[in-house]
Amino acid sequence: MATRTINGKEYTKADFENRLRYLNDSKELATLLNELKEPLIYSAFRGKQLSFFADTNNIQRRCKTFRLRKKHGGYREITAPKGALRGVLQALNIVLQTYDEPTPWAFGFVCGRSVVDNARPHVGKRYILNLDLKDFFPTITRQQVADCLTAEPFGFSSLAAKLVSGLATVRTKNNEEVLAQGFATSPTLSNFICREMDKEIASIATAQGITFTRYADDLTFSSDADILRSQGELVQQVKTIVERYGFRLNEEKTHLQRRGRRQEVTGLMVTEKVNVSRRYVREIRSLLYIWERYGYEDACQAAWKSYRQQHGKTKGHQHCVPLNAVLRGKLNYMKMVRGADDPLYQRFVSRYTSLQQRSKGDIKEVAYKAYMGKYLSNSTEDRMTSADVLPNDNTSSRQLGATSSNPYDPRKKSKRILNFIVMVIILLAIILIKLFLKSLL
User: What are the pLDDT digits (tens) for 296-325?
Assistant: 888 888 877 777 766 665 554 455 678 888
Same domain, 14 and 92: yes
DSSP states along 223-288: ESSGGGTSTHHHHHHHHHHHHHTT--B-GGG-EEEETTS--EETTEE-SSS-B--HHHHHHHHHHH
pLDDT for the residue 213: 98
Same domain, 34 and 54: yes
pLDDT for the residue 318: 55
pLDDT for the residue 239: 95
Return the exposure string of 280-301: e unless at least 16 CB atoms fall within 10 Å of the residue's CB, then b.
bbbbbbbbbbbbeebbbbbbbb
Q: Alpha carbon of 421 to those of 333, 426, 428: distances in Å? A: 45, 9, 11
Structural Rg of the chain based on CA atoms: 26
Q: How far apart are CA 340 and CA 350, in angstroms?
A: 12
pLDDT for the residue 300: 85
Same domain, 347 and 265: no
Range of the domain at 91: 3-99+154-175
Query: How many CA atoms within 13 Å lie on the side-chain side of 118?
Result: 25
Fill in the amino acid letter for 24.
Answer: N
User: What are the pLDDT digits (tens) for 36-92?
Assistant: 988 878 889 999 999 999 998 887 778 888 888 777 677 888 999 988 999 999 999
In degrees and rounded to multiples of 5, residue 46 shows phi and psi of -120, 155
Q: Which of 271, 297, 325 is the last residue of a domain?
A: 271
Q: How many residues does the chain have?
A: 441
In degrees and rounded to multiples of 5, residue 249 shows phi and psi of -80, 140
Neighbours of 383 (CB within 10 A): 12
Q: Enumerate the β-bridge partners of residue 78.
A: 66
Task: Kindly give, in sequence order, each residue whose CB lies less than 8 Å from that of residue 245, ignoring residues fewer than 6 positions away.
Answer: 193, 194, 196, 197
Q: Which long-range contacts (CB under 8 A, 24 or more apart) does 22-27 make?
A: 22/157, 23/156, 23/157, 23/159, 23/160, 24/157, 24/159, 25/159, 26/50, 26/51, 26/54, 26/159, 26/163
Q: Enumerate the β-bridge partners of residue 264.
A: 269
Same domain, 159 and 48: yes
Evaluate whether residue 160 is within a structural domain: yes
pLDDT for the residue 61: 77
Evaluate whether residue 375 is within a structural domain: yes
Evaluate whether residue 350 is within a structural domain: yes
Same domain, 316 and 417: no
Helix (H) or strand (E) holding 420: helix 410-440
Alpha-carbon dihedral angle through residues 435, 437, 438, 441, given to the nearest 10 degrees: 160
| CATH code for the domain of 198 | 3.30.70.270
pLDDT for the residue 397: 39
DSSP states along 353-397: HHHHHHTHHHHHHHHHHHHHT-----HHHHH--HHHH-TT-HHHH
Same domain, 125 and 236: yes
Evaluate whether residue 181 is within a structural domain: no
Evaluate whether residue 65 is within a structural domain: yes
DSSP-based three-state secondary structure for 153: coil
Helix (H) or strand (E) holding 68: strand 63-69
pLDDT for the residue 377: 42
Evaluate whether residue 148 is within a structural domain: no
Neighbours of 431 (CB within 10 A): 10
pLDDT for the residue 441: 65
Same domain, 295 and 367: yes
Same domain, 331 and 434: no
- Identify the segments of the chain with pLDDT beneath 70: 1, 72, 228-231, 309-320, 370-414, 441
Short-list 373, 388, 368, CA closest to 299? 388
Evaluate whether residue 182 is within a structural domain: no
Same domain, 30 and 115: no
Same domain, 250 and 197: yes
Q: Enumerate the β-bridge partners of residue 170.
A: 178
Q: Which of 243, 271, 299 is the last residue of a domain?
A: 271
Q: Which of 271, 295, 318 is the last residue of a domain?
A: 271
Report the domain count for the chain: 4
State whether the Cα torsion 207-211-214-220 is positive or negative: negative
pLDDT for the residue 310: 67
Same domain, 19 and 42: yes
| Sheet of strand 127-132: strand arrangement | 211-215, 218-223, 127-132, 255-258
Same domain, 387 and 360: yes
Evaluate whether residue 20 is within a structural domain: yes
